[in-house]
Amino acid sequence: MRLQKFLAHAGVASRRASEEIIYSGRVTVDGRIVADPARDVTDEDDVRVDGRSVRPVSETVVFAVNKPAGVVSTAHDTHRRPTVVELVPADGRRLYPVGRLDAETTGLILLTDDGDLADLLTHPRYEVEKVYIAEVSGGPVGPETVEALRAGVQLEDGPTLPAGVELLNPKLLRITLREGRKRQVRRMLDAVDHPVLSLRRVKLGPLDVGRLKPGEWRALEASEVAALRAVPKQAHAR
């Protein structure tokens, strides 16, 4: 197995993040620093990250979490803010978030130790749908604004893809994205002069937040994980 994949299976990080860890010289194999993510390793090799031995886990887990406001979507935070990983009992596993929500955005986020699944759900080419409920300021939202959001708006890092937009009431929108730029919903609504007052993600791919209250979590069933894994195949079929 390639070293990059080995680290992902061990729950160290996603494949892409594992690649950066390897390039930074933090990984040793049998006592020697290895900086090549494609290096083949086996279960017989002594693989360590920052001196700590890592082993692939036989079964991976996926948790759905309803992230509260003020909680950051990282495994660790240098400013000692509460992290989404701290909401779930890890039982010795190294969990990390699938994608990110900014600190003040609430709602559905996944935690897993499955690096392959995390990559599948966050890679831009798969355009996994994410659904948000946004309450906005700036007065009632008109039909021209809705059409502008649907068509795509110009941001500093380029135009957005067309979005699904439903006006729930004059100040509340349901927005469906197929891309995941940093703070994208907030920036899109700023661009049309309707700044966000509150933002909540309610759906990721086929999975919705359901009855989870803020701060609550649940382990996904095997059928739900299988549905998540099928999302990239469905994207290729489009």
Catalytic residues, by residue number, are 102
* Cβ(118)–Cβ(14) below 8 Å: yes
* Cβ(49)–Cβ(21) below 8 Å: yes
* Cβ(69)–Cβ(103) below 8 Å: yes
3 state SS of 64: strand
Overall residue count recorded for the chain in this entry? 238
| Token code pair at residue 179 | 């891309």
* Cβ(38)–Cβ(4) below 8 Å: yes
Distance CA 20, CA 3 (A): 12
